Amino acid sequence: MKLLIKQEHAIYFLKDNVTEEILYGGAAGGGKSALGCLWLMEMCQKHPGTRWLMGRSKLKTLRETTLNTFFELATILKLGGQFNYKATEHIIYWKNGSEIILKDLFLYPSDPNFDSLGSLEISGAFIDECNQVAYAAWQIVKSRIRYKLTEFGILPKMLGSCNPSKNWTYKEFYKPSRDGKLQPYRRFIQSLPTDNPHLHPSYLQSLLRLDKNSRERLYFGNWEYDDDPATLIDNDSIADYFNPTHLSPEGIKYMTIDVARKGKDKTVFRIWHGWLCIKREDISKSGLDEVVARAKVLQAKHGIALSNIVADEDGVGGGVVDFLKCKGFVNNSSPLEMREGSAFVKPNYDNLKSQCSIKMAEMIVNRQTGEICDNAAVQQGTAEEMEQVKLKDIDKDGRQGIIPKDRVKEMIGRSPDEWDSIMMRYWFALRKTFNTRIRVGS
């Protein structure tokens, strides 16, 4: 079976004595799943009695997509008689004793440390669409590659496939590769649909008819796919926000609460130690009592003063503010005065949310704030929302504002649930300035 040129490049690194982790893909139609399946097939036949992992975020999706690719390739290569798939066990058994274990790698709240993988011993792993799993899953799987390595002289190998995403795949592979700083044990191989001569022309045309960002990602393989001049937070800043090695937890602790309301299904809590978010959690479809009770638990656990807790006061959030007796944040209220030199001036923002969003975006771009988070889904969702923190009417004079939430919802196809609990952190900086002014005037 003749491989694509980019697939041959990947196979070279999968067989060398240096590379341990390979990220392959970066666009649609580049033969990502096929590469992983072919590699596993070869390894199972070449090394009898070894054990391999085929993973994806959800087992159901793995069986409906990657596993079907495996069967199709096995048919083409006439390997059907060499293995038996046990659907109830989610394992492919080869006649020579080798195995391929199908694994669900989703980050479930009940298993945040992937303890379910604790007793696993494998010889290598392929994770399809690895951008959809947490970086912790990638690391844990790699730590389990130790089965019969010495017997066959095998170097621990991980192969991941993905499309461009603003999460750990960007931070750990694409960006270092782009900047010439990728660790020698890692390789990133960009594969585009135009590299695959077997794709039907109509498929390529369908990719070209996608919306601008999707077209840039899935056809052109562009990881920097948003070039809107109104965008306030660039890709590298988003990646560094979730890799805050330059920050330390210090100073006062705060809590920001974005309360679920009509059109949303979850309340998001963020705990901040200084400008570093050290904890994020959510409650789905929660009532007022549950939100207040959880806030009190987090307050006690982290030692946060009531005056350092702020909740979105719009709608249902007003009840949380009343019962919790914390500070309230009103999105459309007037912006707070800010210090300029020795004087205080009323800033040129259309409302408080725009003021905090624009200033918090500056903090992110200046690497003055960050978040500790290993949940790939949260990172991806937050990154999508950060990409949509944009100035509205940039060609017009007047007060600065950001595009409204309903526009953001149209762009990302869901209700934005993360950004408000991040931008509200800046309210405490404004409050400090405002309180200073009050004391001076007294």
What pLDDT is attached to residue 410?
66
Q: Average pLDDT, stretch 102-107? A: 92
> Which pLDDT score, from 0 to 100, does residue 135 have?
85
Residue 411 pLDDT > 70, yes or no? no
- Give per-residue pLDDT as tens, 332-343: 999 988 776 666
Task: Specify the pTM.
Answer: 0.65
Q: Give the DSSP H/E element, type plus range, for residue 189.
A: strand 186-190
Domain 235-436, what fold? Nucleotidyltransferase; domain 5 (3.30.420)
Distance from the first to the final alpha carbon of the chain: 82
Condensed to tens digits (0 to 9), the pLDDT of residues 262-278 reads 646 789 999 999 999 99
According to the model, what pLDDT value does residue 442 have? 29
Contacts of 341-347 with C-beta under 8 Å, sequence gap 24+, read 344/433, 344/437
Q: Where are the domains of the chain?
A: 5-219, 235-436
Q: How much is the pLDDT for 397? A: 65
Question: What is the CA angle 380-384-387, rounded to 5?
Answer: 135
pLDDT of 304 over the 90 cut: yes
Q: How many CA atoms lie within 13 A of 110 on its CB side?
A: 1
* 195 vs 28: CA distance, rounded Å: 10
Give mean pLDDT, residues 80-97.
96
Predicted pLDDT of residue 229: 75
Q: Are 71 and 79 in contact (CB under 8 A)?
A: no
Is the pLDDT confidence value at 7 over 50?
yes
Tell me the residue length of the chain.
Answer: 442
pLDDT average, residue stretch 158-186: 91
Helix (H, G, I), strand (E, B), or coil: what is residue 222? coil
Share of the chain above pLDDT 70, in %: 94
Taking the C-alpha atoms of residue 235 and residue 225, their distance in angstroms, rounded to an integer, is 9
Question: Each residue of 20-52: pLDDT tens digit?
Answer: 999 998 788 888 999 999 999 999 999 999 999
Determine phi and psi for 269, rounding to 5 degrees. -110, 140
Confidence class for position 439, pLDDT limits 50, 70, 90: very low
Tokens of 75: 């048919």
* Max Cα-Cα span within the chain: 87
Is the pLDDT at 441 greater than 60? The verdict is no
Supply 72's token pair.
């199709």
pLDDT at 39: 97
Residue with tokens 């590469």: 35
Superfamily classification of domain 5-219: P-loop containing nucleotide triphosphate hydrolases (3.40.50.300)
- Rounded to the nearest angstrom, the gap between the alpha carbon of residue 34 and the centroid of all alpha carbons in its chain is 24
Q: Residue 318: which pLDDT band, with cuts at 50, 70 and 90?
A: confident
Determine which of 117-126, 310-319, 372-381 has the lowest per-residue pLDDT on average: 310-319
In angstroms, rounded to a whole number, what is the distance separating the alpha carbons of residues 65 and 45? 23
190-237 tens-digit pLDDT: 988 888 888 888 988 998 888 777 788 888 888 877 666 788 998 889
State both tokens at 274. Answer: 């200084």
In angstroms, rounded to a whole number, what is the distance separating the alpha carbons of residues 294 and 127? 36
- Residue 274 burial (10 A CB sphere; 0-12, 13-18, 19+): middle
Helices (H), 200-265: 201-208, 212-218, 235-241
Burial of 142 from C-beta contacts in 10 A (0-12 / 13-18 / 19+): middle
The pLDDT score that the predictor gives to residue 438 is 36
Reply yes or no on whether the pLDDT at 287 is more than 60. Answer: yes
